[in-house]
Each structure stands twice: as structure tokens, then as C-alpha cells.
Structure 1
Amino acid sequence: MNEEVYQHYRKEEQPFIDQVYGWMQQVENRYSPYLSVFLTPRQAMIVEQLIGDSETILLQLFGGYEGAERKRALLYPAYYEPNHDDYETSALQIIFPAKFANISHGKILGTLIGAGIDRERIGDIITDGDSWHVIVDFGVKEYFKQNVTKIGNVGVRLEDLDFADLLESSETWETRTVIASSLRLDTLLAKVYNFSRQRAKDSVSSGMVKVNFMEMDRSDVTIGENDIVSLRKSGRFWIESIDGTTKKDNYRLTVNVLQV
């Protein structure tokens, strides 16, 4: 069965597909819920597709707030009624002298990972331009509060935050229709940011591009729906949908682009 499913996804996604089937099997065997780590949008989409119209396993995704990029998947049997505690997710606010110092998304994430915690246990990092909030696995909340006292050279303190008090992100996304000859990374970078494919290739080879928050060193990799592509100093974008082809066999895409 897995072999038939694999053909619809990338080769490197096969281990994750096997993992999801393992989660599903666990729910069926134990007749109890299973909670995943924080998933990228692409991973969340794969989970939704694999569970599909199952009558025995249901799915809810939770990232702390509406519009979250990274979400945890809760798989559960049909009899079960999930509650907020099932998501084992917490919110923290970063207290720092904002009038005298600056911190950034990259420095925050680097500090949290540098504290010895896997990226998959950290959700979204949110800012309104002044303040910063971060969503984390409940199990690492106290560890972060006790051990993260500096971000870069800025002294900080992490405090509990109610989800109702989460910031509204200052990020602005623009939805565009993009016509592209292929779904290659370099082709899409060139189309979205209006520069040459050679510049796109150079950006990839120089380590400026990430796909799903992981540095990418191949410019020919295929980008799919819900993959998040980041270009340093230019922002990021993701394909919302592949809407068919033009008369010249180019792809017609709906792409969301972060304005910076």
C-alpha cells in the first residue's frame, strides 16, 4: 500500500509517510489519541491527505492561533472528543529592553535550538514589530524559562503567556498568480522575485535559500503545495495551489508572498 502512495510524493518524504502510517496504526491499536511534534505546512498537508476520509481516525491541527504556520497534528479515534490540553502546547513572551536592544526571528530560533531542543518542538515565533511571542511544546516550556537568559547579547526573560493574549503578527502576505515553466526552486525564485535564474541559482549555492526552514543546496529541487521557500533579506513565499497549465504548458500557480 505504501508503495502506491509514495508515487504521489517526493522520495525524501517516504520516511515521513511511513511515520504517519505508524501514528495511524497506533491510534487504531490503542484506541487512543496520538499527538505529533510541530509540523511544517507541507507535512501537515501530507497528514491530512493520508488520513483522508477515514471513518476510524479523525484529525485536528493546532498551532496556537489561527493562521499558524507550524502546527501539531492530533490523530484520534472517532469516539474521542479533543480538548485544549490534548495539544500540550504553550505560549511564551520574551521580555527584553526593547527601547535599547533589538532581537530577531533568526536570533530567537537560533538561541532556542542552541539550548539543545529540537526544531520540531518549537512552533511559530510571532512579532508585531516590537514584542515577541513564541509557541512551544509544553514539555520544554520550563526548560526554556530557566535556561534562556540571553538572545545574542541581549538579556531576556521568558514568561508564560495565555493564548488569548498572543500578538497579531505584523506580517503582510500578498496573493499572486504566477506563471512558471516548471516547479523547480530556481525557476520559482526568479519568477516570484523578478530576477534571473542565474541569480536564483547563485542564491541557493550561497546558502541564502531555505525550503521548509531547512537550508537548501539544490536549485533543481521541485517545490510543491504548502512548501515554504525563504530567501534571506527578501522574505518567503509558498504555493497555495497549482491551478493547471496555460496553452503553452506553463504552470499557473496561486502563490502567497510575504511583504518585507
Structure 2
Amino acid sequence: MDIYQHFRKEELPFIQQVEDWKRQVNTIYEEKLTGFLDPREQQIVASVVGQDETVKFEFFGGVPFAERQRALLYPFYEQAEERRFQIELFEVDYARKFATINHRDVLGALTSLGVKRDLFGDITVSEEVLQFFAAKEVADFVRLNFTKAGNTPVQLIHQPLSKSVRSKEEWREETGFVSSLRLDVVIATIYRLPRSKTKQYIERERVKLNWRIVDDPSTLVKVDDVISFSKKGRSKLMALENRSRKGRLRITYGRKTL
């Protein structure tokens, strides 16, 4: 069976990269540690490596059930201890009485330093704590240069992984009707926008489907697909139900809440 038929065309370069990683481990019996992968990339790694007898894989993002995780591909006779994932935890300290720092501020601060997105993992924001995970190879650089988030001065405190906090993530379920499962149609229903506007947003690359920018409004959305809409939040198609008398398809979707 051709494994490529199960994935979208734009995912093929990453699939080929995973195949190269697998081949490398299988050939020279040395581990391959990836950067932080989004959930879709994790699915691809799991599918490509599969039940191989000589190459094994594990995921870890610094905390159980992290969204972004590093993958470790390793020979079958080794073990995937947490230390091998090379992950550091930082806590952001700042004057909470005078300022508020959100997820976008931290993300912007890290990317403005030139740190690639796959070198830092989940960012946890709560009333009590603000933390993020980073790859060990950039930890010293981040600690020395991350001095401001937004317009707020900050101080980074290195913490052991045992001090990590996992924010509770929930999906608020709602239902709606769509004429088709085109991306622009689904988004128009979920975010209650005119279809003409959602088409423009997609073409301007403000929408991601399964963590990948999509610029084609006719792209079809499938159950469990995750939609990220710039400045409007994240949603997920959870289920398809019966069609109405007018032929419109009833969908159940989730809007992300914290």
C-alpha cells in the first residue's frame, strides 16, 4: 500500500524527511532527535515509522500530553528516557501588578530573537504562572537574550521539568449547518462570517489547517481537522451528522477555550 495516499500533497516533503530519519537510524544505528513537532507532524512520524522492528520512536514535550513534542527515533535495543529529549523549562517572571503578558507576546519575543518555531514547545499561560519549553541547544541563547515580552521587561527562571504546569484545555462544542465541507464554507459557519470574507482570509494565508497554512478556499475539511484562524482562535471539526431537508450538512465543531 502506498503510504502517500493517506496524506495531503503539501505534506509529502515532511514525509520524505521522516523516511530519511528512519533510514539513518536503521543504517548507522544512531538516534535521531527532532525539533518540536505539531500534532499533525507527530501523526506522520507515527505512520511512517510504524511498527518497524529495528527503529522505534517516542514523543515527549516536557510535560505529559503536551501539544508540541520532540520525536526520538532510536534503535530497538535502546530506551527512550526523558533526558534524551533535551528539553529545558523556563518560567517568565515579571511585574504582574503592572502588566499582562499573553501567549502571543511570548511567541513574538522568541521568534524576534531568530529562534525557529521547532526549537521551542508549548507555552503555558495561567493566572499563576507563565512557562515555555525550549530545546537544550538554544537554551543558553534564550536565557541571555529573552529580556522583554511585548513592552514588558522579564526575567527567565530555569526550572526542572517537574515544576512544569499544564494548562487545562477545553473545546466548547457547538453545531451548525454547511452546504459543503469546503474550508471557506466551514469557517464561515464556525466563525459566523460572510463566505466572501473567509475566502479572502484564506487566500491571504491567515488560516491554517492542521498547523499548515492553506491558501485554497476549496480545500476539504475532515473530521478531527484543526483550524487555526489568525486573531480569531482555534476550532476543530468534531463530527458530521445527518443532512437537513434542504440538503445542508449538520456539523459539530469545537471552539478552543482555556
State the TM-score bracket (shorter-chain normalisation). 0.7 to 0.9
Equivalence map 1:180-195=2 (5 Å) = 182-195=180-193
* CA distance in structure 1 between the partners assigned to 2:124 and 2:99 by the alignment: 18
**1:125 and 1:13, CA in 2 relative to 1: closer, same or farther beyond 3 A?**
same
Q: How does 1:69-84 map to 2 (within 5 A)?
A: 69-84=67-82
Cα shift at 1:127? 0.9
Could you tell me which runs of 5 or more consecutive residues in structure 2 were left unpaired when the two chains were aligned.
Answer: none
Q: What is the one-letter code of the residue matched to 1:109?
A: L
SS in 2 for 1:82: coil
CA distance in 2, matches of 1:33, 1:171: 32
* Identity within the alignment, %: 34
Q: Indicate the larger mover: 130-139 or 250-259.
A: 250-259
- Aligned residue pairs, count: 256
Q: Which residue does the alignment assign to 2:23?
A: 25
8 Å contact from structure 1 (residues 180, 188) kept in 2:
yes
SS at match of 2:6: coil
Amino acid at match of 1:73: A
Per the TM alignment, residue 225 of structure 1 is displaced from its structure 2 partner at its CA by: 6.3
- Is the 2:60–2:82 contact (alpha carbons within 8 Å) kept by the matching residues of 1? no
Structure 2 distance, partners of 1:122, 1:34, is: 17
Tell me if 1:46 matches 2:51: no
Q: Deviation at 1:115?
A: 0.6
- Quick one: distance in 1 between partners of 2:251 and 2:142? 40
Q: Does 1:125 align with 2:123?
A: yes
Q: One-letter code of the match for 1:190? A: A
Q: Are the aligned partners of 1:91 and 1:161 in contact in 2 as well (CA < 8 Å)?
A: yes
Deviation for aligned residue 1:105: 1.2
Residues 204 and 244 (structure 1 numbering): CA distance in 2 closer, same or farther, change over 3 Å? closer
Shift of 1:108: 1.0
What does residue 257 of structure 1 align with? 255
The more displaced of 165-174 and 142-151 is: 165-174
Is the Cα–Cα contact under 8 Å of residues 127 and 167 in structure 1 kept in the other structure? no
Which residue matches 2:158?
160
Asked if the contact 2:240–2:249 (Cα under 8 Å) also holds between the matched residues in 1, the reply is yes
Distance 2:155 2:236 in 1: 33
Q: What are the superposed Cα offsets for residues 54-79 of structure 1, whole Å, 9 maximum, x if unpaired? A: 22222211111223111111112221
**Cα shift at 1:168:** 2.9
Contact 2:102 2:125 (C-alpha < 8 Å) held by counterparts: no
Shift of 1:239: 4.5
Q: Is contact 2:40–2:211 with CA below 8 Å preserved after alignment? A: no
- The amino acid that maps onto 1:165 is K
Secondary structure of the 2:70 match is strand
Residue 167 (structure 2) aligns with: 169
1:55 aligned to 53, 56, 72, which one? 53
Q: Which amino acid aligns with 1:140?
A: V
Rate the CA distance shift 1:254–1:166 in 2: closer, same or farther, 3 A.
farther
Q: What is the TM-score normalised by the length of structure 2?
A: 0.85
What is the CA-CA distance between 1:111 and the residue it aligns to? 1.1
Q: Helix, strand or coil: the match of 1:7?
A: helix
User: What pairs up with 1:1-260 in 2 under 5 angstroms?
Assistant: 4-174=2-172, 182-205=180-203, 208-212=206-210, 216-223=214-221, 227-239=225-237, 246=242, 255-259=253-257
Aligned residue type for 2:8 = R
CA pair 145-12 structure 1, distance change in 2 beyond 3 A: same
Q: CA deviation at 1:233?
A: 4.1
- TM-score relative to the length of structure 1: 0.84
User: Does the aligned pair in 2 maintain the 1:42–1:225 contact within 8 Å?
Assistant: no
**RMSD between superposed Cα atoms in Å:** 2.9
- Distance in 2 separating the partners of 1:31 and 1:134: 32
Pair 1:157–1:36, CA change in 2 (3 A):
same
